[in-house]
A and B are shown apart, each in its own frame.
Chain A
Amino acid sequence: MLMFCSTFIIAASLFLIFFSVIYTGMPYLSWEMITSTPKGGFYFGREGGISNAIIGSVYLSVGSTLLALLFGLPLALFMNVHLVRHKMLVNAIRFVMDLLWGVPSIVYGAFGFTIMVFFGIRASLLAGIITVTLFIIPIMVRGIDEVLHSVPHGLLESAYSLGSTKSETAYRVFLKQSVPGVITAVLLSFGRAIGDAAAILFTTGYTDYIPTSLSQPTATLPLAIFFQLSSPIPEVRERAYAAAVILIFIILFISIITRYFSRKYQGNKINF
């Protein structure tokens, strides 16, 4: 009975979170809110919307997901194709990845800030992208690694016996075999990138405008919620609630397409 209760509590708290945030924010969500930038400052201005934060968030998370993919995918393939005989080394890499995954995002933020000060860069989109990339690489690598790990060993041997090189085996056989899992991992890290606030608090700054280059500070949805919620002006807090609803919808959307992808591309797999 107690067990059933605790299961129920977990499911209920999820719905309570969604319900309370959407219920509070939904009335303030309008077309104007989504398509206009705040007027008269994000903290004091009563007019305008949050388009700067939406677009900034998309820039930031797409940029960092692509950058993380550039390093994460080769690394995961390297671990499972080239290093497949060195079990100890691969396990060591996995441990480091788990460790990096566990490091709090605020530490990444502080580290990003140190780098910025070291090189003399201001808070900017670029600094944010780099910090968030560092933060999501372990998530992506572990996700991709998990799928690649389940590719049967026989496939590796048959690819070699047909004369393919190691990188061909990696990209044409292993990657193709685990496309749905890779997409899932990438979307998962995209979700982390768009939802994290602590890592970008120091590094991307906040502004009222939509960034036009990599060196400008950028507004993001999590920080839009965080900053505007502490404002004494009710109209500004409404923007924060609306931003929260949009963020929830984005996360829900990502989770739905993740499920869709992992179902749809099951067919490509060679089964043994």
Chain B
Amino acid sequence: MNLRRFNIERHLRNRMHTAWMLCSLVVVMVVPLLLFAGLAYKSLPLLSDHSVLSLIFSREWKPMSGHFGFYTFIISSLWVTVLALLIAAPVCLLTAIHLTQYARRWVLHLMHPVIDLLSGIPSVIIGVWGILVIVPAISKYVGPFFGKTVSGYSILAGSVVLAIMIIPFILNILIELFQNIPVELKEASLSLGATKWQTIKLVLIRKIMPGIVSSFALGMSRAFGETIAVLMVVGNVTQIPKSIFHPGYPLPALIANNYGEMLSVPLYDSALMLAALILFVIVICFHFLSRIVVIRSEKFQ
């Protein structure tokens, strides 16, 4: 009798737990839809007045008179992101090759906590570091080197800071990719008389090329949405940057800087939510792209 009650209790508990698990699954799965719906709902008032294309390609940003053109901000974002990727990509690739092919084991063991720590540093701290080190370095050394007087708060500072933030992210993926290459592939290449560098360049990198591209795409999407660290060093001037020493004003910085006044100006909040929606859509596109690259290459092999 007691055993039976015990069993009933167990199965009831099982039902309860399963129900809660299902519930949390549904809640979490609904989040992306909610994100999209919420942001789209808030940006509708603006979209009903102007078309999306005219908003994206218009240069005029005058919230007081109802002109919301995102072109300047999108271009700034692209500058910062692409430059950050240009800095981070070679460093990551070389480091990954070094750690997995050339270095001794203990170097990799030593670098693991370093990478973990680097990826765990809050973006505000990296921003503080940018202000303390990168910005003065640019205005004192890098700017004069190219014969310019600059304040240091520039696209370049923003992308250096961003590069530091996406390096651990890309590097982790790359190290994993290199470690998962079958050893036979490397041995076959070496036995055919290829040098180590030839093996790496012509066999290993070619083998994981889709993975590398997809990791760069993910790093880029991460860089695109990074807010606080960039905001602190990039200068925030509404203009289309002419060189990397000019200040810029990326999209996330725009959202973060104007939240205080957005409720007092008509349509302003709608415009900022549209900016967030653009960010969201771009990041999701990048994720799908990188996934497609990986899946297609798997089919191909």
Chain A residues at the B interface, C-beta cutoff of 8 Å: 2-7, 9-11, 13-14, 16-17, 20-21, 24, 70-72, 74-75, 77-78, 82, 93, 95-100, 102-111, 113-115, 117-118, 134, 137-138, 141, 165-168, 170-171, 188, 191-192, 194-198, 201-202, 222, 225-226, 229, 240-241, 244, 247-248, 251-252, 254-255, 259
By beta carbon, the residue of chain B nearest A192 is: B120
The contact of B283 among A5, A77, A104, A229, by CB within 8 Å, is A104
By beta carbon, the residue of chain A nearest B225 is: A104
Q: Are A195 and B122 in contact (CB under 8 A)?
A: yes
Does B192 touch A at the CB level, under 8 Å? no
A209 CB to closest chain B CB, in angstroms? 20
Give the number of residue pairs across the A-B interface with Cβ within 8 Å: 236
B130 CB to closest chain A CB, in angstroms? 9
Q: Are B17 and A171 in contact (CB under 8 A)?
A: yes
The contact of B95 among A7, A24, A100, A222, by CB within 8 Å, is A7
| A to B CB contacts below 8 Å, 14 in the list | A6-B92, A7-B99, A10-B118, A10-B167, A74-B20, A75-B28, A96-B29, A102-B287, A103-B35, A106-B279, A137-B28, A138-B28, A166-B14, A226-B232
The contact of A115 among B38, B123, B171, B259, by CB within 8 Å, is B38
By beta carbon, the residue of chain B nearest A13 is: B164
Residues of the B chain whose Cβ atoms lie less than 8 Å from the Cβ of A5: 94
Most chain A CB inside 10 Å of its own CB: which residue of B115, B227, B280: B227
The contact of A191 among B24, B120, B128, by CB within 8 Å, is B120
Q: Are A197 and B11 in contact (CB under 8 A)?
A: no
Residues of the A chain whose Cβ atoms lie less than 8 Å from the Cβ of B291: 95
Q: Mark B82-126, 1 if CB is under 8 A from A, else 0.
A: 000000001110110111001100010001011111101111111
A159 CB to closest chain B CB, in angstroms? 13
Q: Are B124 and A222 in contact (CB under 8 A)?
A: yes
Please provide the chain B residues from 212 to 271 with a CB less than 8 Å away from any CB of chain A in the complex: 218, 221-222, 224-228, 232, 252, 255-256, 259, 269
Q: Are A198 and B25 in contact (CB under 8 A)?
A: no
The contact of B218 among A102, A114, A134, by CB within 8 Å, is A102
Does B41 touch A at the CB level, under 8 Å? yes
Does B27 touch A at the CB level, under 8 Å? yes
Residues of the B chain whose Cβ atoms lie less than 8 Å from the Cβ of A201: 228, 256, 259
* Contact count band on B: 35 or more
Most chain A CB inside 10 Å of its own CB: which residue of B22, B35, B122: B122
The contact of A20 among B120, B129, B276, by CB within 8 Å, is B129
Does B64 touch A at the CB level, under 8 Å? no
A105 CB to closest chain B CB, in angstroms? 7
CA separation between A167 and B14, bound complex, in Å?
5
The contact of B24 among A6, A71, A196, by CB within 8 Å, is A71
Residues of the A chain whose Cβ atoms lie less than 8 Å from the Cβ of B45: none
Q: Are B39 and A259 in contact (CB under 8 A)?
A: no
Residues of the B chain whose Cβ atoms lie less than 8 Å from the Cβ of A114: 38-39, 41-42, 273
Q: Are B276 and A78 in contact (CB under 8 A)?
A: no
Q: Are B123 and A196 in contact (CB under 8 A)?
A: yes
Does B10 touch A at the CB level, under 8 Å? yes
Q: Are A100 and B227 in contact (CB under 8 A)?
A: no
